[in-house]
Structure 1
Amino acid sequence: MKPKKNPKADLRRNWVLFLQIGLIVTLFFTLQAFQWRTYDPAQAGKDVLSLDDLPQEEVPVTVYDQTPPPPPPPVEPPEIKIAPDDADVEEDEIAPTEINLDDFVEPEDIIDAEPDEEVETVPFKFIEDVPLFPGCEDLDNNADRKTCMSEKISRFVGKEFDTRLGEKLGLTGMNLVTVLFVVNTQGEIEQVQARAPHPKLEEEAKRVISKLPRMKPGKQRGKAVPVSYAIPIRFKVQ
């Protein structure tokens, strides 16, 4: 007995349709595979810190007015009145007093105290003898000492500054923090000022700069003077 075949069960009639559907599905998965990307979470959230050796901000030189004050107006002498003589009064007898001349100081031995002079702050760009950062003492050239000090401070700030703070504050892109401080006549850091997009970044910049090591103070005409220094801190939040 021969099996009977239903003519409607012939699948070869729709093989073109099945072929087109298969090609479409294959092309779709191929395009998705090309567009598939993976990211490293640790690398994506990592902040990039870059310190640029921008030119120092030029601090305007203060020029004091040397014009002498006008002379005071003439004062008329007071009228002198002659008082009448007092009546004769019996004076008390005073015992003589002995004076030891050895207790007196000769006039040439007296040393006048020098008045305190206010020392003006000199910008880092114009200082004759730059402050010596620890590790830059062996350099004899003042220009080399300036370069050494700038590099040492940049490395210190790059190591200590918390760049993750920008991401915590919700900042994006490139951010700039400008810091200005003074190295006083004892080589210590003082008068730290900062300007940043957020107050937290200003506090972080002041904290880092205040941790700088003690330096040998800068000199102007052989005398220790305070020196002002400015540094820009740039970091990028991805």
Structure 2
Amino acid sequence: MKTKKNSNLQLEKNSTLYFVLGLTAILALIYTAFEWKMYYKTSTELGELYVLDDLREEAPITIHKLPPPPPPKIQTPPVIEVVPDEIDVEETVIQSTEVNTDTQIVDVDDVEVAEVDGPEEIPWILVEDAPIFPGCEGESDKKACFQEMMQKHIRKNFRYPEPAQEMGLQGRVNVVFTIHKDGNISDIKMRGPHKILEDEASRIIAKLPKMTPGKQRGKAVKVPFAIPITFKLQ
């Protein structure tokens, strides 16, 4: 006779379910253990800072003893000098300048004519009698002769400075000088590409001879004259 087993009492029937439930409970406990956090109560009162609402510093009241004021200056009253009224004062007589029947007419020859002072310096283009270069006294066109003689003088005294040749300097130097009332040359002014060339142009102009001064209305005047000097390397 075989033993009969009750199917409701067999443990093997729900073993898988029990295993899953146990595993789930263990995993839940492990997760809770990892995520559990402990907090310790600490005191956060490190100190207190008291800030005054009004930070303005009140200066202490001090009493300074001032020196006494200086004594007032006593001004001496001015001395009034009484001048006796015995000086004879000459009265100025104002004569009338209006013409009447008693006015004497002055002769024309007795009237002195004041000389009109003209300018002391006349440009070369406007001067009536241009300065005369030595050797141009007998020429009809003295201005043209003056310029021709100036060119001859420059060619005769021209020397190309050796430093300028070594440095390759060339160009035009504009020269302006004044022929004074006594015929001498002065006030030489130059403007060129280099000082070496300007010095050479000044040396050439300084060798000009004394000239007959220019005249305006028969009176000797200063006459400025301008001429260019060209330096060109061969």
Q: RCO (CA 8 Å, sep 6+): is it higher in 1 or 2? A: 1
- Whichever of the two has the greater Rg, that structure is 2
What TM-score do the two structures reach when normalised by structure 2? 0.49
What TM-score do the two structures reach when normalised by structure 1? 0.48
